[in-house]
Amino acid sequence: MLAFGMPATFSRSQIEAIAALAHLRLDEAEIELYARQLGEILEYANQVQNIDTTGVPPTASIGARHDADRADVVHTSLDRASALANAPDANVDAGLFKVPRVIG
């Protein structure tokens, strides 16, 4: 159960504050729409919070384990010179190399 209650409705000022945080400009119709939709979402969340889960064991993961899952094993890393040996425009002393710009 949540430690705080979730409101079932949102005021105009709350929607405007949320929109300001998200850098959104909303018209009157959008403010009314989002107030209603957010209220419906939180009302559904309240319903989910009130479901009786007595006797249901906690679940750590909803997915089954796969053969690809394995235990972590510590290995030694490549030394810096070997890691940079084939790197383009490498500066071994600094431990860096340059790559082509991909974002313009």
Supply the pLDDT for residue 1: 47
Amino acid at 49: Q
User: What DSSP letter does each residue of 28-72 carry, written as one string?
Assistant: HHHHHHHHHHHHHHHHHHHHHHTS--TTPPP-S-SSPP-TT----
User: What per-residue confidence (pLDDT) applies to 7?
Assistant: 61
Q: Compute the mean pLDDT over every residue in the chain, rounded to the nearest whole number.
A: 84
Residue-wise pLDDT for 94-104, tens only, equals 888 888 888 86
For residue 42, the model assigns a pLDDT of 87
Rounded Cα distance between 84 and 43, Å, is 56
The topology (CATH level 3) of 12-49 is Histone, subunit A (1.10.20)
pLDDT at 5: 60
CA distances, 27 to each of 17, 24, 33, 92 (Å)? 14, 10, 10, 56
The whole-number pLDDT of residue 8 equals 67
Which regions of the chain are under pLDDT 50? 1, 3
